[in-house]
Structure 1
Amino acid sequence: MTLQELLASLDKVLSEGDLQPEVLSVTEDSRQVKPGSVFVAIKGEHYDGHQFVKQAQEQGAVGVVVEDFETHDPLVGDSTALIRVKNSRKALGLLAAKLSGMPSAHLHMVGVTGTNGKTTVTHLAKSLLEAQGHRVGLLGTIGYVFGTEHRVASHTTPASVELQDMLKAMVNAELDVAVMEVSSHALALDRIAGCEFDIVVFTNLTQDHLDFHHTLDDYFQAKLRLFTECVDSGQKTRPKRALVNADDERAPLILQHCSIPTWTYGLHAHADIRAESVHLSMGGTEFLVSSPHGPLTIKSQLVGEHNVSNMLAAIGIGLEMGMTVPMIEQAVQSVANVPGRFERINEGQPFTVVVDYAHTEDALYRLLRAAKAITEGRIITVFGCGGDRDAGKRPKMGQVAARHSDVVIVTSDNPRTENPHTILTQIEQGIQSLLPEERCSYQIIADRAEAIHAAVSEAKDGDLLLIAGKGHEDYQILGTQKIHFDDREEARKAIHRQMDSR
């Protein structure tokens, strides 16, 4: 593909130089530039790609894409074409998609966004659609899975070039569906530019990532883009659908602005796909569903009311994809668990241990509410908050944990470059802001392994121990170092230590 053919994917381009060379790759990383590359200069959080334009040219780039019109003339010769655009981040995604053959046009694209629930909804959707006979790729927090390949996730939603490469790999492997978690960062940073979605889902919106978005409205506006900019008709002619959680207060805004047909789903509000007669237990969940395609009877191994909402979203995806009611009922029942999402650790102990990814105020509240509905014993909660992230949620999470638990142990999550004790103090401030009669007993143990072992030692017959915040993660970030650490492994060690000592 020539540079001129590649640039046809962009609007309002100003270009200088030879546009006839063949393009072999597109990259925003100057270190990856080689002869035949197009280098896209992006202003990042720590570096400005415009500073590396000359380096890219020297390494053989056939073109450089810039958005900074005010900088010095970036080219010192005429061997590299200069392309000026308004938004180089968006250009990167569009160019990568074009060079990869517009892979999203050859896939049924399902995108799920929201603060909580994305991972569970996407895993459920993958299971349902595979039961229907589809070959499904999955991109999300837990990993990137397509065909026989399973990669560790660098982001919830991959970066632009990596995303298009993986979608192309799905097409080449003859997959026909891609199910993706679409993060607010990916939307705000145009990582999914060049993707056209067929089904999009909004799960909910609560406080998170305000270190990046600054305000809750900015956070919402980023989410909204999935329903306005990423579903517009391009090369696809098949029907499209948006699924919106009617129980979330922002649902009306999404319905108002969404440019494709919608279904709502929910437990409490009037909805097109609605759960009724919900029965929750430690063994699973049962409920009835009214839907545009008739009633369903759901029996699931997943636990908690929040998972009822997640299942409704996945059911909506299945219905839109043409699944029959019996097929959906059977497929939902077959899903045992999603890694790190209310994942039960059973080593024969007389109490329940659950590991969950809940790392926001709302997710922790939902987790504790689910726990309270299915246990008669005490609830012991171990949690912390990540460093270098939204600090405003720390005292709020402390309040939620202290209000709805019987015992709380505050510990480190991923402190990153922050002082762990600063984070713990901010969490404790939230707990201390409650009246004594409003909060449970608590202690602070900075070392996460020690905290888990202390919680297991505290647990008695019939109690439920929740270890929240990290879920599926098998690492902990201390400073700039990533060390191996898995809540599930640590819980099993603690359980066996306690059982051996009896």
Structure 2
Amino acid sequence: MLLNDLTLPDGIRVLGTLDRTVNGVSLDSRTVGPGFLYAALPGANVHGASFAAPLVAQGLRAVLTDEAGLAIVREAAEAEGISLADVTFLVIEEPRAHLGGIAAQVYGTDPVAPSLLGITGTNGKTTTTYLVDGLLRALGRTTGVIGTVATLIAGERLPSARTTPEAPELHSLLARMRARGVDDCAMEVSSHALHQHRVDGVFFDVVGFTNLTQDHLDYHPTMRDYFEAKALLFTPRFARTGAIVLADDWARELAAEAPIPVVTISREESDRPDWHVTGESGSDFVLVGPAGERIVARSPLPGDFNVMNTALALVLLVLHGVAPEDLAPVAASFDVAVPGRMEVVHPEAPRVVVDYSHTSDALEKVLHGLRESSPLVVVFGAGGDRDPLKRPLMGAAAARHADVIIVTDDNPRSEDPATIRAAVLLGVQAEIAAGNARVRSTAVHEIGDRAAAIAAGVEAAGASGTLLVAGKGHETGQTVGNIVHPFDDREQTRAAIAHVLSR
């Protein structure tokens, strides 16, 4: 399409001709192709405009940026002898805030094709997204998934760099899905994405809220800021209707104040939910609706928290227009495998589960779901350059539920790994000292080397116990400093078990 065909935001300054074809948008200088509009945005460390002059020399002819970015491009072009005479600049304050709307026009994003179902919350986004996808596929729909683990387009798997892609990539993916005949796409929506305008220009038919617990306070100043970012998804700008699991006070506040129609889900009758989860027996449950609808269901994933994730997925589909009687044949029999989410990598002797749980609430719920195991061993750490306040809380959660605790390194990033481990251990020891541990003789070990920690966990679990390896889930690398080293908890666990069994 031509730049002249775009509906540009008020206040934008155009330098150059709008009679120019644009067939793609990118804010990553490495992915700019012929005919692209390059979004040169201010970044945390460097302005994207710093990379624009070399792109102009290679044929770039359209740039979206701010006044500071324009000055950077002009200075670099002059220094390098690059002419800007044939380049169109779209200059506006806060260009990121307008990027999604422009990308939606360039890629022709259609809110109907594919129809979008969005899930937000602290824990359970990935799992619920996969549950929604599994139900839709069981109903014969052609589906897509966008999230932390991967992007799926009609069965084709693409890697994911972040939970929610940047706006240009997101709209490009939706265009590809439409071309592939995808009916419905289940998508994770992070607080970062909402705050950073990554989902601008996108409209969701239905949205879901899992819970809100402490996380990402390295980015959001307070829990209130974190909540308000999440709550943006439940506004007419982004969604038609929504479903909220009444898991905490934040969820109750959202249910009371959301400016779009919402329904609530709870296993507690005292919550007076629209959809009541009842008749639980392990992974089996009954979902009772506001008009007396009954859906007999089974969570295909272990853990009582996954009952609520499954209930949310079912309600989202009802809101999406699927009749409860049409869900009935699949609700109790559909199957889903979510990489790194309660993934059983060894069924017994010992049983080993790998899970992405990297908050205190998630760790507590997973360990509680494995509470019948004895001994119950957990190997976990905490990420560097992330919310430091949650580290002792994670340690305390482990102490309340596990018989053997092995604190190790997660992704230390730029921080000192020993300092991170010490913060986690502080929470463990405080909980034990207070008498709140599962057993007073809880064994606590500190093993920085994650592979060695996993091997020790296998040994501690023995033939009859369960080992939970928590924190990294599906990840295939460990970030130490600025280097990502190959590391997969699942592979390391299988190797450790094979070593033990070979003796």
2:87 aligned partner: 80
- The 8 Å contact of residues 384 and 413 in structure 1, kept in 2 or not, is answered as yes
**2-side partners of 1:415 and 1:408: how far apart?**
19
TM-aligned CA distance change 1:413 to 1:329, over 3 Å: farther
Corresponding position: 1:487 with 2:489: yes
- The 8 Å contact of residues 386 and 415 in structure 1, kept in 2 or not, is answered as yes
Between 103-112 and 443-452, report the one with greater CA deviation: 103-112
TM alignment of 1:75-474, pairs within 5 A: 75=74, 77-228=84-235, 230-231=237-238, 240-268=240-268, 269-280=271-282, 285-292=283-290, 294-332=293-331, 333-346=333-346, 348-349=348-349, 351-372=350-371, 375-436=372-433, 437-439=435-437, 440-474=442-476
TM-aligned CA distance change 1:448 to 1:69, over 3 Å: closer
Instruction: Measure how far apart 1:376 and its partner are.
Output: 4.9
**Matched letter for residue 305 of structure 1:** D
Please provide the CA RMSD for this pair: 2.3
- The 8 Å contact of residues 148 and 160 in structure 2, kept in 1 or not, is answered as yes
Q: Could you list the per-position Cα deviations for residues 429-487 of structure 1 after superposition, in whole angstroms to 9, with x for gaps in the alignment?
A: 22233353334320001111111111111124542221111112222222222222222
- The 8 Å contact of residues 147 and 164 in structure 2, kept in 1 or not, is answered as yes
**2-side partners of 1:34 and 1:458: how far apart?**
53
2:16 aligned partner: 17
- The 8 Å contact of residues 395 and 425 in structure 2, kept in 1 or not, is answered as yes
TM-aligned CA distance change 1:77 to 1:162, over 3 Å: closer
**2-side partners of 1:173 and 1:413: how far apart?**
38
**1-side partners of 2:399 and 2:485: how far apart?**
29
Q: Could you list the per-position Cα deviations for residues 47-100 of structure 1 after superposition, in whole angstroms to 9, with x for gaps in the alignment?
A: 112444544544444332223469748557543233232331132222211111
- The 8 Å contact of residues 42 and 66 in structure 1, kept in 2 or not, is answered as yes
Instruction: Measure how far apart 1:119 and its partner are.
Output: 0.8
- The 8 Å contact of residues 411 and 424 in structure 1, kept in 2 or not, is answered as yes
- The 8 Å contact of residues 67 and 85 in structure 1, kept in 2 or not, is answered as yes
Give SS of 2:445's match: strand
Between 390-399 and 80-89, report the one with greater CA deviation: 80-89
**Matched letter for residue 396 of structure 2:** Q
Instruction: Measure how far apart 1:24 and its partner are.
Output: 3.0
Give SS of 1:137's match: strand
Between 416-425 and 54-63, report the one with greater CA deviation: 54-63
TM-aligned CA distance change 1:324 to 1:3, over 3 Å: closer
Give SS of 2:224's match: helix
TM-aligned CA distance change 1:35 to 1:469, over 3 Å: closer
Q: Which consecutive residues of structure 1, in runs of 5 or more, have no partner in the other structure?
A: 233-239
Give SS of 1:99's match: helix
TM-aligned CA distance change 1:475 to 1:70, over 3 Å: closer
2:78 aligned partner: none
Output the TM-score relative to the length of structure 2: 0.90
**Matched letter for residue 485 of structure 1:** F
1:235 aligned partner: none
Q: Could you list the per-position Cα deviations for residues 159-200 of structure 1 after superposition, in whole angstroms to 9, with x for gaps in the alignment?
A: 222111111000000111111001111111111111111111
**2-side partners of 1:257 and 1:348: how far apart?**
47
- The 8 Å contact of residues 241 and 262 in structure 1, kept in 2 or not, is answered as yes
- The 8 Å contact of residues 134 and 336 in structure 2, kept in 1 or not, is answered as no
**2-side partners of 1:156 and 1:73: how far apart?**
31
**2-side partners of 1:415 and 1:73: how far apart?**
34
- The 8 Å contact of residues 231 and 260 in structure 1, kept in 2 or not, is answered as no
Q: Could you list the per-position Cα deviations for residues 257-307 of structure 1 after superposition, in whole angstroms to 9, with x for gaps in the alignment?
A: 433221111222321111112222xxxx11121113601222333222211
**2-side partners of 1:475 and 1:275: how far apart?**
38
Displacement over 6 Å in runs of 4+: none
Give SS of 1:287's match: strand
TM-aligned CA distance change 1:259 to 1:67, over 3 Å: farther
**2-side partners of 1:31 and 1:142: how far apart?**
23
**2-side partners of 1:250 and 1:29: how far apart?**
35
TM-aligned CA distance change 1:12 to 1:331, over 3 Å: farther
Output the TM-score relative to the length of structure 1: 0.90
Identity between Structure 1 and Structure 2 (%): 37
2:5 aligned partner: 5
**Matched letter for residue 345 of structure 1:** V
**Matched letter for residue 29 of structure 1:** D
**Matched letter for residue 276 of structure 2:** R
Give SS of 1:467's match: strand
Instruction: Measure how far apart 1:402 and its partner are.
Output: 1.3
Q: Could you list the per-position Cα deviations for residues 347-383 of structure 1 after superposition, in whole angstroms to 9, with x for gaps in the alignment?
A: 552x4221111000110111111111xx152221111
- The 8 Å contact of residues 27 and 92 in structure 1, kept in 2 or not, is answered as no
**1-side partners of 2:380 and 2:339: how far apart?**
18
**Matched letter for residue 492 of structure 1:** R
- The 8 Å contact of residues 40 and 69 in structure 2, kept in 1 or not, is answered as no
**2-side partners of 1:29 and 1:471: how far apart?**
27
**Matched letter for residue 264 of structure 2:** T
**1-side partners of 2:22 and 2:495: how far apart?**
53
TM-aligned CA distance change 1:266 to 1:466, over 3 Å: same
TM-aligned CA distance change 1:35 to 1:357, over 3 Å: closer
How many residue pairs are counted as aligned between the two chains? 486
